[in-house]
Chains A and B, each alone.
Chain A
Amino acid sequence: MPNQDIISKLKQSGLKGRSGSSFPTGLKWESVRNAKAKKKYIICNAAEGEPEVFKDDFILKNYPEKVVEGIKIALKAMDHSSAYIYINKNYFKKYGQKLKRLIRKLPIEIFQKKTEFGAYIGGEETSIIESIEGKRAEPRQKPPHPTQKGLFGYPTLVNNVETFYYVSKIVEGKYENTRFYSISGEIKNKGVFELPEDWIIKKVLEQTGNWPEFDFFAQIGGGGEGEIFLPQELDKPVQYLASIIIFNKEKTDPYVLMGKWVDFLMKGNCDKCAPCREGLYRIKEMIDKKKLEKETLDDLFLVLEETSFCPLGRGSTAPFKSLISKVLK
């Protein structure tokens, strides 16, 4: 398939990146393809790290050949390119051998994420690049965007496992605008479900037999940074990361829950910038004391959202803000 073809097919499909940022895949590919360079890199992000998100795990288990096929398509589309699969240790243990068999002689290298440098931040695209370059997994200043200047200074395409899966589906002509939902929490059928991306969350839960009969709230978008929604707010599709976690309102201690989030974020962040490193710590202090001071919290939310270095810090307030305003009020 000529290069132009794949880009327009991706654009037509409307496929958006499935790592949570929802950036149009066609545009990203076009940007890397059009960049003039002696070398280009493709990175498949298989470093799924957010709690309660396990759709890449599912895809790697069931459709690794489609993922590799998607990377192969990217290799063809980008001249002088080679690829990396950036994978966390656990997934490497489970799927490493299988992936190697599928890769065979393709220019794809499997790179295991280094666990000593923070767990979660390792999934942010510029942090992946730093990590593969042998540096600490810390975000880079953008611009330049990786599509212009990424791994070792060359134009780099970073896409998620699921995105590559759907690229291969698109090329096969079998893409039906579906996505993979990780559904967990206090539900009957925990698991990963491939369903239309425009379904409202309520429908997703109903169709999978997971709509709770008790009073509940849901965390949408991951067990670390996902936002809290009440049952009556679930009449819209998932926007970013397709993870749905159900909490029994009566049985859930909001402070314990917030404690889990903040511990995850503090462990997963890189500590490079002050608001994320110190702000989260001060939020933790308040949670531990079960004493939330509104004015201070508002200040901390402001600096986290507006002055953090990378998306991890900027997105970290969503669960706290929504839980406090909707559940704790």
Chain B
Amino acid sequence: MKNIKITIDGKKIKAQEGQTILEITRKNKIEIPTLCFHPDLEAKAGCRLCLVEIKGKKGMHTSCSTKVEQGMEIITDSLKIRRARKTNLELLFAQHREECNDCVWYDKCRLLKLSKEYGLNINRFSDRKKDFPCYQFGPSIVFDTSKCIDCRNCVEVCHNQGVNFFDIKEKNSFFEVVPTKDKKRDCIYCGQCLAHCPVGAFESVGEYEDIEKPFMDKSKVIVVQFAPAIRTSIGEAFGMKPGEVVTDKLVAAIRKLGVDKVFDVSVGADFTTMEEAKELMEKIKKGKGACLSSCCPSWVKFVEFNYPEFISCLATTRSPHIILGALIKTYWAQKEKIDPKKVKVISIMPCTSKKYEVERDELEIEGVEPVDYVMTTRELVRLLKKKNIDLRTIKPEPADHPLGIPSGAGVIYGATGGVAESALRTAYYMITGKNLKNVNLKDVRGMEGIKKAEINVKGLKAKIVVVTGTGNAIKILEELKKNPKAYAAVEVMACPGGCIGGGGQPLPSTPETRKQRAEALYQIDAKKKLRLAHESPIVQKVYKEFLNNEKTIHKICHTRYIKKTREVRI
């Protein structure tokens, strides 16, 4: 890249050819408002707020999409720029029906922030979309088109996922974003539309109108379990840095809601690791076909709907919160002498798709659902704030026994590559009888879409591929179609960076925040003495006392998958 010199607001600044004006201004801490711009996506330059003037060029230019050139003189603030930004903001405001109290952006709304900065007359124009419809995507996501500002980020992100659930249709001289009616395409509930919508036109089902309901049921023993990915992200909503580890504060905060027990889904992950490692071991030993991970319900749905020929390759092991939910209602309930029907399990998840997963009938155990309710990280945040529980000041408390102490392997489940790494640590032990000398499988860590590694297990070479984003997974599935032995293990998480970038997480979700959230999970693991699922005392105890026969193991820890036709009805 060639170094060039440009001027911004009279100040000489060094830049590199190929960079956009916005990249340079952000780097130099020069404030330019943006709305539709998202670092994960192409600059679509639709909202026309990041306007600048360029000497010698007519009109105003969007800094997100304009590349710098040698000698360029850029002005980022002038009366004309302010007037144009204000007018465009008023136009955007008028197509967005406000429902601020119930918005996923809540106290981080950029429209509102900018409206104050630019002295907006937010009622200058009438709401163009006030009668626009709401669509519900299964039990997971609501798309309220009356809030949509037509930036089409959702269309792009869904396309990148290989899902293409959105169409752009013409109606009354407007091209509008609508969910498709095509029966060959279906939502996988990953919620990346939500995570990339700048104005909260998407929310998860129940967000936030139902956040108190699950806790109201006083006739039940209420058990809350929280996912691995949350401990390094929820702090952001309370003004902490991304990646700040708040596990025990989170436990204390949840306990303060008046629940009976707080368990850690990472313990469930240790059981998932045990079972998935067994499946993986079989595949590695037999050397035929790949074992596809199955913790991510969006990925599972993607396979069931788009690539049913791979259903038989999906690991039958249930996802961590489903296994832990099942153990709570069986093993733990028996110990505590509680009728499982009286136990209510609430999972706090970084995920919109888990709301869908818990409704799958095949997960029921003797008429009892392992998990009764799923709440997103954001929903928990709102509930805590409503109850004036502040994560910054609360005194940390450990999770409850006996399902509260996970291995480090169970914690890294929240990041892409974590499931594969955990399962391999244990599979290696199962095959060789020894632990890996170095349990850090760094090749499968990091934010890249596709990561590959090869492990030598007792002379057998096992190829592993770790994928984030279902769009990237298509490449691997197509490869496997041609060569079924291309990989022994395939881990796929639908969301960028894994669950830490899930559709239920605090906003915004950017490459930077996701990186920090993931790194913090690996730090938790690195600091733990217990880093292998098979060495976990609680895992060993439960296998000895309860999961000691194939029938029980199968009932609690395994499931099946079904070829799917379109589920979402529009």
Contacts and interface: CB of A to CB of B under 8 A. Distances in A.
Interface of A: 116, 118, 136, 141, 143, 263, 266-267, 270-275, 277-279, 281-282, 285, 296, 299-300, 302-303, 305-309, 314
A302 B175 contact: no
Given A277-B150, A303-B84, 5 more contacts: A272-B46, A275-B91, A282-B91, A306-B58, A308-B48
A314 B59 contact: yes
Contact of A279 (B65, B80, B91): B91
Contacts of B150: 271, 274, 277
A302 B175 CA distance: 23
A78 to B, nearest CB: 26
B45 A274 contact: no
B74 interface: no
A296 B124 contact: yes
Contacts of B238: none
A274 B46 contact: yes
Interface stretch (B166-174, B188-196, B244-252, B426-434): B166-174
A116 to B, nearest CB: 7
23 contacts: A118-B175, A141-B65, A266-B174, A267-B173, A272-B152, A273-B46, A273-B47, A274-B46, A274-B47, A274-B48, A274-B149, A275-B88, A278-B94, A279-B91, A282-B125, A285-B126, A299-B83, A303-B88, A303-B91, A306-B58, A306-B80, A307-B84, A309-B45
B88 A272 contact: no
A258 to B, nearest CB: 15
Nearest to B151: A274
Interface in B248-284: none
- Identify which of A270, A282, A307, A314 gathers the most chain B CB atoms within 10 Å of its CB: A307
Nearest to A296: B124
A218 B410 CA distance: 76
Prevailing SS type, chain A contact patch: helix
Given A302-B84, A303-B88, A306-B84, A270 B128 contact: no
Contacts of A296: 124
B44 A272 contact: yes
Contacts of B5: none
Nearest to B152: A272
B19 to A, nearest CB: 14
A275 B88 CA distance: 6
A116 B170 contact: yes
Contacts of B125: 282, 285
- Identify which of B43, B47, B60, B126 gathers the most chain A CB atoms within 10 Å of its CB: B60
B67 interface: yes
Contact of B175 (A270, A282, A303, A314): A270
Contacts of A118: 170, 175
B174 A277 contact: yes
Nearest to A281: B128
A136 B84 contact: no
Contacts of A143: 67
A303 B173 contact: no
A282 B88 CA distance: 12
A263 B172 CA distance: 10
B300 interface: no
Contacts of B128: 278, 281
A299 B86 CA distance: 9
Contacts, number: 82
Nearest to A267: B173
Contacts of B46: 272-274, 309
B83 A302 contact: yes
A-B interface, 4 closest residue pairs, ranked by CB to CB distance from nearest: A278-B91, A266-B173, A271-B175, A306-B59
A120 to B, nearest CB: 12
B124 to A, nearest CB: 7
Contacts of B223: none
B87 interface: yes
Contacts of A266: 173-174
Contacts of B83: 299, 302
A277 B125 CA distance: 14
Contacts of A278: 91-92, 94-95, 128
Interface of B: 43-48, 51, 58-60, 62, 65-67, 80, 83-84, 87-88, 91-92, 94-95, 124-126, 128, 149-150, 152, 168, 170, 173-175
Contacts of B87: 275, 299-300, 302-303
- Identify which of A274, A279, A282 gathers the most chain B CB atoms within 10 Å of its CB: A274
B52 to A, nearest CB: 11
A329 to B, nearest CB: 24
B505 to A, nearest CB: 28
A299 B66 CA distance: 24
B347 to A, nearest CB: 39
A309 B91 CA distance: 15
Contacts of B65: 141
A281 B173 CA distance: 10
Nearest to A268: B173
Given A302-B83, A303-B48, A306-B59, A274 B88 contact: yes
A140 to B, nearest CB: 10
A307 B51 contact: yes
Nearest to B174: A271
A299 B170 CA distance: 27
A136 B168 contact: yes
B91 A306 contact: no
A303 B170 CA distance: 24
A273 B125 CA distance: 18
A275 B92 CA distance: 9
Contacts of B170: 116, 118
A308 B46 CA distance: 9
Contacts of A308: 48
Contacts of B47: 273-274
A273 B152 CA distance: 11
A46 to B, nearest CB: 23
A141 B92 contact: no
A266 B175 CA distance: 10
A277 B151 CA distance: 11
A307 B46 CA distance: 10
A126 B168 CA distance: 19
Contact of A306 (B60, B67, B95): B60
A88 B150 CA distance: 27
A136 B83 CA distance: 31
Contacts of B59: 305-307, 314
A303 B66 CA distance: 18
B23 to A, nearest CB: 15
Nearest to B35: A274
A106 B430 CA distance: 67
B178 to A, nearest CB: 13
A300 B44 CA distance: 21
A204 B494 CA distance: 65
A307 B58 CA distance: 10
A314 B125 CA distance: 21
A278 B83 CA distance: 16
B166 to A, nearest CB: 12
Given A282-B91, A300-B87, A307-B88, A275 B48 contact: yes
A306 B83 CA distance: 11
